[in-house]
A = this chain, B = another copy of it.
Amino acid sequence: VVGQAPAGMSGDGALQLAAEDLHEALQDPLLGALGFLNEVMARYPDAISFAPGAPNPALLDELDVAAQLDRCVAHFARSRGLSARAARRMLFEYAPSRGLINDLLAEALRRDEGIDVPSDAIVVTVGAQEAMLLVVRALCRAPDDMLAVVSPCFVGIAGAARLLDVPVIAIDEGEHGVEVAAVEAACRRARAGGKRIRALYVAPDFSNPSGTVLGLDARRRLLELARREHLVLIEDCTYGFTAAPDAELPSLKALDATGHVVMLGTFAKLCLPGARVGFVVADQVVADGGGTRRLLADELATLKSVVTVNTSPIGQAVVGGMLLEAGCSLAALGRMRSRTYRHRLASLLDALDRHLLPGAAAVGVSWNRPAGGFFVRMRLPVPVDAALLERSASQFGVLWAPMSSFHVGGGGHDELRLSCSYLEPAEIEEGVGRLSRFLHATIRREDAHRDAPTGR
């Protein structure tokens, strides 16, 4: 197959690129599914979309970038003994790969969770996504090292591993998140096959996409297993801030006494996607045989120097200013917004109850009731695929995400994900109304098909 030459280019001798001659990651079905979802959203801009797991845009309107930059620059000057001009230049110059606001993050971790790490054990990354890439790259020496993920899970972790040619194995989660016995069995199976599960990616708090929360006892047992199996737990804390104040659980990192947890976080959901700032806490000591004390964070910073060099100092300073404004507490920064998200989630669950609950169980429609996070997981009695999404968008003006897009090992073919974060209550109400009409039409039609006599 020969590519069509772009406009203005002679076909003669043109470079020919075939999809199958590019890297395998590009043939990944999960990345393809994500692309399809974005493409459908672009084609139906007027649909109400429960698809994007993005922060509520109304929460961003108040942001004064210049004021936050000034606040962080003043901190740079104070904490480093710099002149105002030298501190301001820090925004505009190259910065250390490790980051500029590491001290603020270390202080926040201490204050919020009693996690006591030196600031140089933190690397500031371009969102949690880059942190995932760096951690998987550092820990996994392909091909015998594998990354385990809880399935369904955030697509970005599997995508990063795919890009790095690191094998991924999926561990199906239960109703309350990852099941420790399943992880143990997977480790055993890997060992029997001459492989090693080097790390497990887990989001214990209102995970994306399923909204599950790992209980305190399960967290402790998972840490014990990590110790027995020499397993690194890559803990993604993205949605922890949405918990009600009386329902917060300690992070795996806070419970970890033996250095088995590498913690990832991001400011994207907490306060500002547009800064593209996340971080990784990696205070594990790396023995190099020469007596030099290096931290895993040092190694991650070295890798980062050939991925993005450093995270934009401007982006770091905007969220640094917001963190300072919140008294150097990620929890306080989160609390300013988490009430909105719990309110949206309650609106969504309430609308689902009113529009769908009567009769839902009878036709095989059900959903979970998370107490936090952005997402509700819904099961349908019909296949949830691209065709169904297309019909929902074109005929009913409502969008959602097929859960199969989040299943690394296959699965989720009768489920969808509804996100409440991006919509206003009135949109949620109208959207659930449309969803209800869509489901009534679809399931009745499927029933009709099922009941109709067929040739088979």
Contacts A65-B69, A296-B17 given: A133-B26 contact, CB under 8 Å? no
Query: Would you call A12 and B258 a contact (CB within 8 A)?
Result: yes
User: Quick check: A137 and B61 within 8 Å, CB to CB?
Assistant: no
CB distance from A259 to the nearest CB of B (A): 4
Considering only CB atoms, which chain B residue lies closest to A291 in the complex?
A: B1
Contact with B along A52-67 (1 / 0, CB 8 A): 1011010011010110
A232–B116 CA distance with the chains assembled, in angstroms: 49
Q: Mark A88-110, 1 if CB is under 8 A from B, else 0.
A: 11111111100000000000000
Contact of A19 among B1, B92, B286, B314 (CB under 8 A): B286
Indicate which residue in B23, B163, B314 contacts A315 across the interface (CB closer than 8 Å). Answer: B314
Task: List A10-27 residues whose CB lies under 8 Å from chain B.
Answer: 10, 12-26
Quick check: is A452 within 8 A (CB to CB) of the other chain? no
Closest to A15 in B: B259
**A277 (CB) vs chain B CBs: closest residue:** B312
Q: Are A17 and B287 neighbours in the complex by a CB distance under 8 Å? A: yes
Out of B34, B91, B258, B302, name the residue touching A26 (CB < 8 Å): B302
A276 within 8 Å of B (CB atoms): yes
Q: Which of chain B's residues have a CB closer than 8 A to the CB of A159?
A: 305-306
Residue from the list B121, B285, B315 in contact with A17, Cβ < 8 A:
B285
Chain B: minimal CB distance from A364 (Å): 34
B268-A94 in contact (CB<8A):
yes
Q: Is A415 an interface residue (CB 8 A)?
A: no
Residues of B contacting A302 in the complex (Cβ-Cβ under 8 angstroms): 26, 31, 35
List the number of copies, as a whole number.
2
Do the beta carbons of A306 and B163 come within 8 Å of each other? Answer: yes
Are B294 and A19 interface neighbours, CB within 8 A?
Answer: yes
Q: Contacts A130-B308, A139-B22, A141-B21 given: A4-B92 contact, CB under 8 Å?
A: no
If A126-B308, A287-B17, A314-B65 touch, does A141 touch B296 (CB 8 Å cutoff)? no
Q: Which residues of B contact A141 (CB under 8 A)?
A: 21-24
Quick check: B54 and A303 within 8 Å, CB to CB?
A: no
Max chain B C-beta neighbours (<10 A), residue from A54, A69, A260, A306: A306
23 chain-A/chain-B pairs, Cβ below 8 angstroms = A2-B287, A5-B259, A10-B258, A13-B227, A16-B287, A19-B288, A21-B141, A22-B141, A25-B137, A54-B93, A57-B92, A65-B91, A90-B274, A91-B274, A93-B274, A94-B274, A127-B309, A159-B305, A275-B314, A276-B308, A308-B308, A314-B314, A315-B315
A interface vs B, CB < 8 Å? 1-10, 12-26, 31, 34-35, 38, 52, 54-55, 57, 60-61, 63, 65-66, 69, 85, 88-96, 116-117, 121, 126-127, 129-130, 133, 137-142, 155-156, 159-160, 162-165, 227, 230, 232, 257-260, 268, 272-276, 283-289, 293-296, 299, 302-303, 305-315, 318
